[in-house]
Amino acid sequence: MALKTVEWKNNSVIMIDQTKLPSSLEYVTYTDYNQVADAIRTLVVRGAPAIGISGAFGLALAALQSDAKEKDQLIQDLETAQKTLLKTRPTAVNLAWGLEKIMSVAKSEKTVGQIRVSIVEVAKQMAEDDIQINMSIGKNGSKLFSKNDTIMTHCNAGALATVGYGTALGVIRATKESGKNIKVIATETRPVQQGSRLTAFELKHDGIDVSLIPDTAVGYTMANGLVNGVIVGADRILRTGHVFNKIGTYQVATMAKQHNIPFYVAAPLSTFDMKNNPEDVIIEQRKASEVTGIGDKKTAPDGINVINPAFDMTPPELIAGIITEKGVAKAPFEESIKKLFQAN
C-alpha cells in the first residue's frame, strides 16, 4: 500500500510522524493549527510539497478553531495562524504558496460559514492535486531514463515529502512502472538522514531496488561507473533555474558534472519562486545537535562550533533539466521556465 503522508479526516489533520521512521510507522492527529506548526518545525512532516499542504490544512484547522462571527474577525484569526505557520521554516516556497492560496479563498467568500466550508474543500483538493501533479511529473521524467539505469537521489523527495507518490521518487516510480528495470542509489543525507531513514525506507517498502551510500561515497560511485543519472527534488526554484534543495545537493551536482552524468531536478510549479533572486532566499540554519550527534549518540566534543545549513543552492549550469507537471525545462532556463508557466 502506498504511503499517504498527510491527510484531512473528520475535521483533523493526520500525518505520518517522520521522526519515528524507519523504526516505526506511526500516525499523529492534530486539531489545532499550533500543533501543525510544531510538526513542521520539528520535522514530523517535511519536504516542500508536504509542508505546503500541511500549511493549508493548518489554516483549515484555524478556521474551525476560530469563534469569529464576522468575516473580518475570521480573516484576522486566519492571518495570525498564517504568520505562525509561515515562520516555521523559511526556505521551501511551497509553504508560503499553500498559505496564500487558502487566504485568497477565505477573502473571496462572503460569510464565515462559506469561508470555513471553502477552505476545507480547497485544502483537500490541493492534497488530491498534489498526487496527480506528481504522477504527471513522473510521466514526464520517466522518458529521460533507460532500461537498467542506476539513478542516484539525495535526501527524500518521495511520497514522504509530498502527499503521495513523490517528485524525484515519483519519476523513479513512473520509470519502473513504464517497464524499465532501474536501480536506485540513495545518499544517507547527513545530518538528519532523510536518505537512509526515509528514502531507503520508502523504496524498500515499495519493492524498488535501492542501495544506500554514505554521502562521502558520491564521488566514488560516479567515478566507478555505478551511476547513470541523478534526480533530486527542490525546495525553491528561481526563474533563472537556480535550485535550492537539501544541503549537499550542490556537491552531488558538481560531482555529476565532473563525470558527465546528467543531473535532473523534479518539482511542481508550486516550488517556483518567480520573484526573488538568489541573495534574497533565506537558508534555514538548524541546531548544532543535529551535527554533534547521530540520534542520541554524541559524535563530537562538547562546545564545538558548528555550521549547519539545511539547504544549498545549485546553479543552473549544473542542471540538465527541471522536470515539472507541465514538461521539462532545459537551458536557457529563464526562457524555458517562462514557457512552462505560459502553458499553465
Nearer to ligand MRU, 49 or 316 (CB): 49
Please compute, for residue 177, the number of CA atoms within 13 A of its CA located in the half-sphere on the CB side.
14
Question: Cα–Cα distance between 107 and 277 in angstroms, integer?
Answer: 29
What is the signed CA dihedral for 326, 269, 241, 178, rounded to 10 degrees? Answer: -50
Q: Which three three-digit cell numbers place residue 21?
A: 521512521
How far apart CA 175 and CA 252 sit, in angstroms, is 22
* Chain CA centroid to CA 82, Å: 19
| 18: three-class secondary structure by DSSP | helix
Q: Which is nearer to ligand MRU, 49 or 58 (CB)?
A: 49
Question: Minimum Å distance from CB 162 to ligand MRU?
Answer: 5
Instruction: Indicate the residue whose CB is closest to ligand MRU.
Output: 233
> Closest distance between ligand MRU and the C-beta of residue 262, in Å?
18
Backbone dihedral angles phi then psi of residue 183, each to the nearest 5 degrees: -125, 160
Partners of 298 in the β-ladder: 293
∠ CA 111-112-115, rounded to 5°: 85
All 3 cell numbers of residue 202? Answer: 520508502
Q: Which residues bind ligand MRU (CB under 6 A)?
A: 46-49, 92, 155, 157, 161-162, 167, 194, 232-235, 245-246, 310
- DSSP, residue by residue, 243-261: EEEETTHHHHHHHHHHTT-
Q: How far apart are CA 265 and CA 269, in angstroms?
A: 12
Looking at the Cβ atoms of 155 and 256, the one nearer to ligand MRU is: 155
Q: Which residues are catalytic?
A: 235
What is the rounded CA–CA span in Å between residue 106 and residue 235? 26
Q: How far is the CB of 73 from ligand MRU (least distance, A)?
A: 34
**Least distance from ligand MRU to the Cβ atom of residue 218, Å:** 15
Cβ at position 133, least distance to ligand MRU in Å: 11
SS (H, E, C) 114-148: HHHHHHHHHHHHHHHHHHHHHHHHHHHHHCCCCCC
In terms of CB distance, is 75 or 172 closer to ligand MRU? 172
Whichever of 234 and 256 has its CB closer to ligand MRU, that residue is: 234
Comparing CB distances to ligand MRU, the nearer of 4 and 71 is 4
Q: From the CB of 187, what's the least distance to ligand MRU, in Å?
A: 11
